[in-house]
Amino acid sequence: MIDVPGIFASNVFNDEKMRARLPRDTYEAYRASIDSDTTLEISVANAVADAMKDWAIEMGCTHYTHWFQPMTGITAEKHDSFLTPEGNGRVIMEFSGKELIKGEPDASSFPSGGIRATFEARGYTTWDPTSPAFVKDNTLCVPTAFVSYTGDVLDKKTPLLRSMDRINHESVRILNLLGKTEVTRVEATVGPEQEYFLIDKELYEQRKDLIYTGRTLFGARSPKGQQLDDHYFGAIKQRVKAFMAELDEELWKLGIYAKTEHNEVAPAQHELAPIFTSVNIAADHNQLTMELMKRIARKHGMVCLLHEKPFKGVNGSGKHNNWSLSTNTGENLLKPGKKPEENTQFLLFLTAVIRAVDEYQDLLRLSVATAGNDHRLGGDEAPPAIISMFLGDDLEAIVEAIINGEDYESHGKVVMNTGAEVLPEIRKDTTDRNRTSPFAFTGNKFEFRSLGSALNISCPNIMLNTMVADVLSEFSDELEKATDLDAAIRKLIRRTLKKHRRIIFNGDGYTDEWIDEAEKRGLLNLKSTPEALKRYTLKMNVELFKRNRIFSEKEVKARQEILLENYVKIIDLEALTMLDMAKKDILPGVSAFTGELAETIQRKRAVSKDIRVDAEIKLLNKLSDLLSRFSETIDELDSKVGGASGSSITPRRYCR
């Protein structure tokens, strides 16, 4: 038996450890600076760094690293040892406040979208004190943000932190206006549900396409697919079970609230859901979770595939981003309560989200746009590329009643009769689940379901926080001027809902009728990544980011370029891998087999000319025909790739 509370967060230098190891006044100075978002005094930083280092050495560390999230989508590290020469041939282990706060990785090997020319390769990592340091592979990892020498954002964490500030500020402002003066802080909370595949390592190693691109580029449908749905929640095989047990333990040690695990719809597909936490921590934790999944799978003779669509004909993997807002007084702002129709505060926040999602559909869509995810969205297994919102019958009826100026009384929760006295009463949710909606209200949070499994969750949450904060700010501007606040709120909600009701759709998002209907409503249907990314730099979007101090125009353009370049590289790599497999494996293989067939025919004929060879001849004919067509297609691809890659695949990595 593992002692879960005992090991939980044992690899994390959390607040509790900091308090235990720092002198009281130093700890208080540190806490005060975090709580008021002010810069840390260098003396305090030195003391924190020293305590962190002592703890890390006790945990077996010799090195530290600034752990950051560049635009590659994965995390980066540069390891330095604590070793410092003393001058007399001896060394001591040191870690200063300066080293804790600021690092200088070789920025030139990370994408910057032209922001940072290579001759000014300098970039800085700066400590994010809101996310605790942790130990991984005998290394102390310090979560950091990554910016260029000129202060331009080069990572995913900095804008996320900025967007959290915005949603905090605007939520507190409007709550104070509503009379909730005890609220001083509002946090965006996220629980990301992570899907993944586990496959046998030996089988994986036979597939160049899986190795190089993460998905199969050639293949035949297996006779047993997911038709039977019998894998879902089925018995988890022993090896997978051992993997999950080890994964859980390692995640718990890192203070990650891994909670539920089950098999998914597709064969060999699984899901892990952590308990929600504040969004910057959730983003760090999700990156760590993906990294550990990959590493631990290998130890168990398996490979973890995080690609959004590894196999054709089998469901791909997504990530559900459950998002809500919670106050320092412990209130969830998206909780409707028993009578949502009378809950002005809830309706105001709901209205803000509805308007934000409608106005910035394209930002939500492009925040999940990747080459791999293009294979999933709209594929009868994942939401369509069209962004819409599901509210459920009860809330939708309330919205309709408000728009029509009618009274509405919600039914509240219905008690379900299970028919058995011994079972506790189950309160039925007022709405059933809708699995086809990209953006669904699920009782006390919104679930954004369009994310691909490999995505860093920062980007969609930057969008969500920013656009909702922006709308709330406009709401406050209007309401602060009102003489009759209640009347002004009612008017504002009604007017806004009327204008943005088109984004609400409770039906089946997988049908063709919805595509037509969405078009009539004027909703966007951005089918591919390039189409979606084009909209990043629209004036309206750039203005949103500038107004909220998330990105400058230069930074938006850089991001667009990085994402497009990444898309092109992936498509190019897939084409090159396809060519390699076709030329080296498939063409010679089929050609050799047709040769064998021809020989068989001759040998059979030599025995007796009465022996039938029509089956072999038919097969030989068919294969020879397929082979020449295949060869022509490959030549065509070859010439296209030759033309395209010269421009796209120039390496962006520069040696020093």
Assign 330 to helix, strand or coil: coil
Q: Which structure tokens are listed for 89?
A: 């041939």
Which of 70, 274, 316, 340 binds ligand ADP (CB under 6 A)? It is: 274
> Is residue 193 near ligand ADP by the rule CB under 6 A?
yes
Which range binds ligand ADP by CB under 6 A, 110-118, 187-195, 230-238, 417-425?
187-195
The 261-300 site mask, x for binding Mg ion (CB under 5 A), equals ----------------------------------------
And the tokens for 352? 């803000």
Closest residue by Cα to residue 524 from 386, 368, 370, 364: 386
Cβ-based neighbours of 403, under 8 Å, separated by 6 or more: 494, 497, 498, 501
Q: What is the distance, to the nearest Å, from the Cα of residue 90 to the centroid of all Cα atoms in its chain?
A: 46
390 binds, among ligand ADP, Mg ion, none (CB under 5 to 8 A by kind): none
Binding residues with ligand ADP: total (CB under 6 A): 15
Closest distance to ligand ADP from the beta carbon of 192 (Å): 7
Q: What is the DSSP letter of 223?
A: S
Q: What is the 3-state secondary structure (H, E, C) of 253-266?
A: HCCCCEEEEEECCC
Beta strand 318-327 with 63-67 is: unpaired
Partner whose binding site includes residue 445, from ligand ADP, Mg ion, none (CB under 5 to 8 Å by kind): ligand ADP
Whether 61 and 137 have beta carbons less than 8 Å apart is answered as no
> Would you count residue 501 as binding Mg ion (CB under 5 A)?
no
What is the C-alpha to C-alpha distance for residues 73 and 406, in angstroms, rounded to an integer?
A: 48
275 belongs to the binding site for ligand ADP (CB under 6 A): yes
**Choices 10-18, 186-194, 363-371, 594-602; region in contact with ligand ADP by CB under 6 A:** 186-194
The residue within the footprint of ligand ADP, chosen from 46, 168, 287, 442 (CB under 6 A), is: 442
Counting every residue, how long is the chain?
A: 656
Mask 288-327, x = binds ligand ADP (CB under 6 A)?
----------------------------------xxx---
The span from the CA of 418 to the CA of 424, in Å, is: 8
The CB-of-323 to ligand ADP minimum distance in angstroms stands at 6
Out of 365, 375, 445, 559, point to the residue binding ligand ADP (CB under 6 A).
Answer: 445
Among 66, 157, 270, 320, binds Mg ion (CB under 5 A): 320
Q: Which amino acid is at 311?
A: F
Cβ 336 to ligand ADP, closest distance in Å?
A: 12
In this structure, the number of other CB atoms found within 10 A of the CB of residue 540 comes to 11
- Asked if residue 191 binds ligand ADP (CB under 6 A), the reply is yes
Tell me the chain's radius of gyration from C-alpha atoms: 28
Output the residue with the shortest Cβ distance to ligand ADP.
191
Q: Closest separation between CB of residue 332 and ligand ADP, Å?
A: 5
Residue range at the interface with ligand ADP (CB under 6 A); choices 90-98, 274-282, 576-584, 611-619: 274-282
Residue 173 contacts residue 473 (beta carbons within 8 Å): yes
**Contacted entry of ligand ADP, Mg ion, none for residue 10, CB cut-off 5 to 8 Å set by kind:** none
SS3 92: strand
278 binds ligand ADP (CB under 6 A): no
Min separation Cβ 124 and ligand ADP, Å: 32
Nearer to Mg ion, 349 or 448 (CB): 448
361 binds, among Mg ion, ligand ADP, none (CB under 5 to 8 A by kind): none
DSSP code at position 609:
T
Cα 105 off chain centre by: 25
Residues 6+ positions from 503 with CB-CB distance below 8 Å: 354, 357, 358, 361, 387, 388, 389, 523
- Which positions lie near Mg ion, rule CB under 5 A? 320
- Which positions lie near ligand ADP, rule CB under 6 A? 189-191, 193, 273-276, 322-324, 332, 442, 444-445
